[in-house]
Structure 1
Amino acid sequence: MVGPSGSGKSTLLNMIGLLDKPTSGKIFVDGVETTRFNESKTSEFRNKKVGFIFQFSNLLSDLTVLENVMLPRQIGGKTVGTKEEAMKLLKTVGMEKFVHKRANKISGGQAQRAAIARGLVNSPSIVLADEPTGNLDSVTADTIVQLMKSMCKKIGLTFIIVTHDRHQFGDVDKTITVKDGRTTDGEDEEEPPVMEVTIK
């Protein structure tokens, strides 16, 4: 998802992820109108269906890398197999040597790798990434991009990525341009603002 600063990219991403609610229109995810959810249903859906990766990794500095990755499952009440799943993902993203390091003792690129593992630990259907490489140098950013694309193919997940640098991501399945709060990817602009995300 691309577009100029202030166009509404992050807002749209936040609405898909149920972090924000639209002031008008409706959001459908997998055929379900999520704008009708109450607070409890919203939290449950977000925890089960959506993974988040942010520009700043947002790891908790006083927890280890492993503890950070395990956290979403623990919040969701899952205990069985949580450590094993977190370890497996950390190995997949090349962070198995850093599992017991505090989050404030690793580099930015390493933190973002851990954040990707954390975003996947609940086996979500969709992963939302808001400028996931915006805080990284170009070499590390390219590594993170390739890692996300590899994970997408390996696990079969849908990634929706907001970026200011479209070219950094190379070939993707679809590019959506947001301008002045509307998508401009060829859809009828006279239609009401309904965004549908199909999850399979």
Structure 2
Amino acid sequence: MQLFLNATSPYARLARILLLEKGMVDDVTLRWCDPWADDKALLEVNPAGRIPALVTDDGTTLSESLLIAVYLDSVSSRLPMIPTSQLADVLHLAGLGQNLMDVAFNTVIARKHYGAEIDQSELGRRRQRAMQRIVEQLNSELHESQLAPSITLGEIATAVALDYLAFRLPEVHWREAYPQLKAWHGTVISRDSFQQTAFV
């Protein structure tokens, strides 16, 4: 298999963490690329030019991080990331993580192309409100004591999103505002899979 990615994408990081947690690193060739440069090899497997993109052993191409995660979880029975006994809870949390990732990423990209003043636009203010609401909800739902030795897709997606928020939008100060969430997050990112894939 091949995985197209870069080092600062939260979506690509989610896929890499799945590979590490599932013990599938040796089964996949990492193809580092710049999606903003219309990388030719990336466009051949994903015409949208987005990462991550996964090429399976039979040549099928998959895009979107959560869909790639579902596929990787299905092809290896080791440590299920989406256990059927917790399906609704895991997908609920994965959705919150994905939504937080989206609003944070879109904020970063909008600022890159239009300047920080874009935050004052109608869409910019909507993103800021959504970011705050999601973090507040995560703080109300997540407790360090809930964590099991294994990890789920929901926990991975949420922890990656929070890490991306701290990496790209430190002015949000979610760690200072939500010590309970900070403790939960600190425990999750202490895992080797997170340490190996830390944002740089």
- The alignment's TM-score, normalised by the length of structure 2, stands at 0.30
- The alignment's TM-score, normalised by the length of structure 1, stands at 0.30
Ranked by relative contact order (alpha carbons within 8 Å, sequence separation 6 or more), the top structure is: 1
